[in-house]
Amino acid sequence: MEGARSRCPIFCTAEIPLSIIEALLEATKEHQLGSPELFAREPMNTANWLVLMTSKDLTTIHQGLSSPVQSFTSPFIGMSVDEVTAWYDTNITQPGVVGYLKRTFIVLEQEATDDEICTIVCTSEEPAGKLRCDFTLALQTVCSIDMDRSTEEGIMGSFKRSGVAMTKDNFELASSGGKYMDGMEVKIDEAWKDFSNW
């Protein structure tokens, strides 16, 4: 992998159309880690943050992921998230391979083609923590988990335990205790009111 920057690996366990991977890149660029001020001087370059795992031979992966995505066949098709986690631990985490996050990665499963939801995996938990997340929040969530080393804490933990996918809208409702604006009126969504206690 070129450069010393650690990037988040993306594994495809099904045949994922290039348009879906492009949608992940576009959502990532638009959201800008939820902190657009970080990119005020220079636009976000996804190649500095993400890497598509196109081979099990890490010496053949030389750069991060950017648009346009080149056609490839994933060597991880048919593998479960647990099998990918074991491969990641053996081939990236344990040997300390430079250029990859050591404990956090993204998996695109077949469902990603329908709902643009991915699975974020944290290997520093036992068993590995798994959190379903939409494309918009994916990289921001990876960065948070990689710093905290956990998917168990706070609102992320509530999403993990509930099995509800963490979308931008769901995250905002959960963060505000279910409060939202309807015109000029503050309302409460009862389903999300106590979500942080789930």
Give me 124's structure tokens.
């520093």
Contact in structure between 49 and 1 (CB atoms under 8 Å)? no
3-state DSSP call for residue 176?
coil
Residue 35 pLDDT: 87
| Beta carbons within 8 Å of 27's beta carbon, 6+ residues apart | 116, 134, 135, 136, 138
Kindly report, residue by residue over 137-157, the tens digit of the pLDDT. Answer: 999 999 988 887 778 888 888
Contact in structure between 195 and 174 (CB atoms under 8 Å)? yes
Domains and CATH numbers, the chain: 8-153 (3.40.50), 167-198 (no CATH)
Helix pair angle (168-175, 135-148), 10° resolution: 50
**Stretch 105-133: mean pLDDT:** 94
- The burial class, CB within 10 Å (0-12 / 13-18 / 19+), for 57 is exposed
| Beta carbons within 8 Å of 168's beta carbon, 6+ residues apart | 31, 134, 136, 137
Give me 82's structure tokens.
């647990």
Tell me the torsion sign for CA atoms 150, 145, 195, 24.
negative
Kindly report, residue by residue over 67-108, the tens digit of the pLDDT. Answer: 999 999 999 999 999 999 999 999 999 999 999 999 999 999
Percent of the chain exceeding pLDDT 70 equals 97
Kindly report, residue by residue over 28-70, the tens digit of the pLDDT. Answer: 999 988 888 888 888 888 999 999 999 999 999 989 999 999 9
